[in-house]
């Protein structure tokens, strides 16, 4: 197949960028689709040929990722998010508007081929909900009117100005905030190397390389009580110390930038406004485990962020912070940013590694854990963007100082993205252990429109929900666990008294059924069954026995699935069934008692 010269050059570069050729598969598919609007049979054959794969290996991989299409999409692919944060702020109204305005349905294309429409899962714009993407451009804080204007401009061949940065990231600082890793946000050109260096950037790297040993770096991180910010909260220093010292295989550092937990949009501004902080953290992590290659796995939707980070990586190479003999210390470290293609499951560390190796994002059997057998079979540490972004501060100010910013065992600060029915949705950096009620009412401005609080998702839609009575607790990993929930990924979604919890349960399950990889039976079949049942129930076709059945099915998934996705689907459902059972009973009367957005869709 004859390729445009630019794409061909891109392919050639990708083919030689990875330790294993196949790793280039997903980026190649994404860039090919950018060029042609879809992946054709000829393109599959071409990529298979270039990567020494069978056609079916290419086909099965691309079929897994929701951003990759086998049929031509419109010139403008309109992707409207209706996931929880957007739903609460009118996401379904935007979707309905889009259907009417464009006269097409979900995954359809207009006859002239200009527009196509897709209802998508959380795109990481929760603090700017409701939001959508047109191709890779983000449009946030939408109203039906604003939507119409965007479509009109596109129709006229213009590109409406996308959001300059993640909505909600920049705001007047609240006195309760303690900006550390977000302190450069809002500075002019904060993503550029000279600004970063002027602000004291790469000093921690110099210290780590020149004054510290790998062991002392790990010790410092252990002292900081830094716990994984992706959701599980595993102590980062301990994770690093699991890497065997004498492995003959190459070791890797991976940054998990596949931010896709519904309600979470903190990694996006961390990368777009301070990419060098992340790069510095990764080189230090590389030094700590004696690795010479890092990867940033970024979700496919964040293409503009990828470009920003890629430019920062180039700058860092130019200035000698990456590459051979960094800062004259003899330490080598290469870094590559790699695009995903639409799969929540690839946020699971082992599925991410499969995906990075160019395969379907199926999780791996554990043990062995990645620290022992990870990417390409080599010892690998994988950490969230926020975790790695905290590393320079820890090295610079010392682990203990960092730890003291939080509470015992929960060191440092935490990025929280609060969305839903609060007056000031946004991304805030606060000390770990801040009281949740205080945070919602004093930092996030309380509940909008003078309404009462009904429920809180504390850290992404995988967490059990809390009632208004349960939120007077410190926000740290252990207190949340004690309250029967999780601190999770920092994606807090707040619901007011008019929210239909049946609809909420339905929308949460819709997401997990869409994102289940299909590997294991309980998750694959359980999420789908629950989705169908909750849709039917919410549409007014519920039966009394369904209430117990929903709860029981969720329990049947819990703890029995291959990876945590099944638990993530089960836990919020179990909590909703337990805490708002009354609302389910109300639905048996035939209709939703609330004017919830989801009611517009009915049973689908």
Partner 1 sequence: MPDQRLIKLKINDRELQVPQGTLVIEATRRIGTEVPSFCYYPGLSLQAACRMCLVEVEKAPKLQTACTLVATDGMVVRTDTEQVRQARKAMLELLLTNHPLDCPVCDKGGECELQDMTYRYGADFSRFVEEKIHRPEEKWSELVYYDAPRCILCFRCVRVCDEGMDVKALGVGLRGANSVIIPNRADHLECEECGMCIDICPVGALTSGTYRYKTRPWEMQYVPTVCAHCSNGCKTTLSVRNHEILRANNRDLSGINKDFLCVKGRFGFDFTTNKERIRQPLLRQGDQLFPVSWEQAAEAAATKLKAAYDSGGKDSIGFIGSNRTSNEENYLLQRLARATFGTNNIDHHRTADYAGLITALGERAADSLLTMEQLYQSKAVLVIGNDPTNQNPLVAWQIRSAIRHFGTRLFLINANEIKLKRKARQFVKIAAGQEPAVLKWLAHEEGQLAPELVEQLVQLKAALEAESDVAIVFGAEVSGAAIAALVAFGSKLPGQTRYMALGDYANSRGASDMGLLPDRLPGYARVDDAKARESFEQLWGCVLSSKPGLTVPQMVEAARSGQLKVLYVVGANPLAHFAKPDSGRGKLDLLVVQDMFLTETAKAADIVLPAASAYEKDGTVTNTSGEIQLLRRAADVMGPRTDCDLLRILSHQLEKQGLGKALPYKTPGELFSEIRKAVPAYNVPLAGLLTGGAEVTRAQVARNGHAPYDVPAGLIRSANDTLFTSGTLSRWCTMMESVPEAHS
Give residues in contact with partner 1 (CB under 8 A): 41, 54-57, 59-60, 63-64, 343, 360, 365, 513-522, 524-529, 532-533, 536, 545, 549, 556, 559-562
CB of 365 to partner 1, least distance (A): 5
Do the Cβ atoms of 370 and 382 come closer than 8 Å? yes
Q: Of the two residues 262 and 522, which places its CB atom closer to partner 1 in the complex?
A: 522
Q: Which is nearer to partner 1, 27 or 526 (CB)?
A: 526
In whole angstroms, the minimum distance from the beta carbon of 74 to partner 1 comes to 22
Please report which residue ranges of 156-301 form alpha helices under DSSP H: 193-198, 203-211, 214-223, 236-241, 267-273, 275-289
Closest CB to partner 1 among residues 223, 536: 536
CB nearer partner 1, residue 425 or residue 522 = 522
- Residue 543: count other Cβ atoms within 10 Å of its Cβ: 11
Minimum distance of partner 1 from residue 516's CB (angstroms): 4
Q: Which residues contact 144 (CB under 8 A, 6 or more apart)?
A: 93, 94, 97
Task: Kindly tell me which of 207 and 514 has the beta carbon lying closer to partner 1.
Answer: 514
Quick one: 85 or 520, whose CB is closer to partner 1?
520
Which has the closest alpha carbon to 594: 76, 53, 2, 88?
88
Distance CA 439, CA 181 (A): 19
Is the Cβ of residue 71 or residue 245 nearer to partner 1 in the bound state? 71
Q: How far is CA 288 from CA 102, 226, 292, in A?
A: 53, 15, 11
Beta-carbon contacts of residue 490 (< 8 Å; ≥ 6 apart): 229, 264, 266, 386, 414, 415, 416, 417, 459, 460
Q: How far is the CB of 246 from partner 1 (least distance, A)?
A: 21
CA pair distance 112, 407, nearest whole angstrom: 58
The rounded distance, in Å, linking the Cα atoms of 473 and 471 is 5
Structure tokens at 422: 């609060």
Task: Give the span between the Cα atoms of 139 and 120, in whole angstroms.
Answer: 14
Q: How far is the CB of 428 from partner 1 (least distance, A)?
A: 34
Minimum separation from the CB atom of position 40 to partner 1 (A): 12
Residue holding tokens 């770990």? 432
Nearer to partner 1, 57 or 109 (CB): 57
Rounded to a whole number of angstroms, the minimum distance from the CB of residue 406 to partner 1 is: 27
Task: Sort 472 into a burial class: Cβ within 10 Å, 0-12 / 13-18 / 19+.
Answer: exposed
**CA distances to 1, 12, 51, 307, 356 from 16, in Å:** 20, 7, 10, 20, 14
């Amino acid at each position: 197949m004859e390729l445009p010269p630019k794409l061909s050059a891109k392919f050639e570069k990708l083919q030689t960028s990875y330790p294993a050729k196949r790793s280039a598969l997903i980026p190649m598919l994404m860039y090919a689709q950018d060029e042609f609007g879809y992946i054709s049979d000829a393109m599959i054959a071409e990529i298979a040929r270039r990567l020494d794969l069978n056609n079916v290996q290419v086909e099965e991989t691309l079929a897994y990722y929701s951003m990759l299409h086998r049929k031509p999409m419109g010139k403008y692919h309109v992707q409207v998010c209706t996931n929880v944060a957007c739903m609460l702020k009118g996401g379904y109204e935007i979707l309905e508007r889009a259907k009417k305005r464009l006269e097409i349905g979900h995954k359809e294309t207009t006859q002239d081929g200009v527009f196509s429409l897709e209802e998508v899962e959380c795109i990481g714009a929760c603090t700017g909900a409701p939001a959508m993407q047109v191709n890779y451009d983000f449009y946030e804080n939408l109203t039906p009117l604003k939507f119409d204007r965007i479509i009109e401009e596109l129709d006229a061949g213009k590109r409406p100005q996308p959001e300059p940065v993640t909505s909600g990231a920049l705001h007047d600082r609240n006195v309760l905030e303690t900006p550390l890793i977000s302190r450069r946000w809002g500075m002019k050109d904060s993503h550029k190397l000279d600004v970063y260096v002027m602000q004291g950037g790469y000093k921690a790297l110099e210290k780590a390389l020149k004054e510290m040993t790998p062991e002392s770096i790990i010790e410092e991180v252990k002292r900081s009580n830094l716990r994984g910010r992706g959701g599980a909260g595993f102590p980062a220093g301990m994770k690093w110390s699991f890497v065997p010292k004498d492995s003959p295989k190459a070791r890797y550092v991976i940054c998990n930038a596949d931010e896709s937990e519904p309600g979470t949009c903190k990694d996006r501004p961390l990368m777009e406004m301070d990419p060098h902080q992340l790069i510095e953290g990764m080189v230090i992590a590389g030094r700590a485990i004696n690795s010479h290659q890092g990867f940033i796995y970024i979700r496919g939707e964040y293409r503009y962020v990828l470009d920003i980070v890629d430019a920062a990586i180039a700058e860092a190479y130019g200035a000698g912070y990456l590459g051979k003999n960094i800062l004259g210390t003899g330490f080598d470290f290469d870094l590559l940013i790699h695009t995903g293609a639409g799969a929540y499951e690839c946020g699971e560390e082992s599925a991410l590694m499969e995906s990075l190796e160019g395969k379907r994002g199926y999780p791996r059997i554990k043990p062995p854990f990645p620290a022992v057998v990870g990417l390409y079979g080599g010892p690998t540490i994988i950490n969230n963007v926020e975790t790695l972004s905290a590393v320079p501060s820890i090295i610079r100010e010392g682990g203990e100082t960092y730890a003291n910013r939080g509470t015992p065992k929960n060191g440092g600060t935490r990025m929280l993205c609060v969305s839903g029915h609060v007056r000031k949705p946004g991304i805030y950096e606060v000390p770990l252990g801040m009281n949740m009620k205080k945070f919602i009412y004093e930092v996030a401005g309380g509940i909008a429109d003078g309404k009462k609080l009904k429920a809180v998702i504390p850290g992404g839609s995988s967490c059990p929900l809390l009632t208004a009575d349960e939120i007077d607790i410190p926000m740290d990993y252990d207190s949340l666990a004690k309250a029967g929930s999780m601190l999770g990924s920092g994606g807090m979604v707040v619901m007011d008294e008019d929210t239909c919890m049946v609809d909420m349960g339905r929308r949460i399950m819709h997401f997990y059924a869409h994102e289940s990889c299909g590997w294991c039976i309980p998750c694959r079949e359980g999420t789908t069954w629950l989705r169908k049942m909750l849709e039917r129930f919410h549409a007014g076709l519920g039966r009394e026995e369904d209430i117990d059945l929903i709860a029981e099915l969720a329990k049947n998934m819990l703890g029995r699935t291959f990876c945590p996705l099944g638990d993530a689907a089960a836990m919020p459902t179990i909590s909703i069934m337990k805490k708002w059972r009354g609302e389910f009973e109300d639905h048996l009367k035939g209709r939703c008692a609330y004017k919830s957005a989801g009611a517009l869709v009915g049973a689908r």
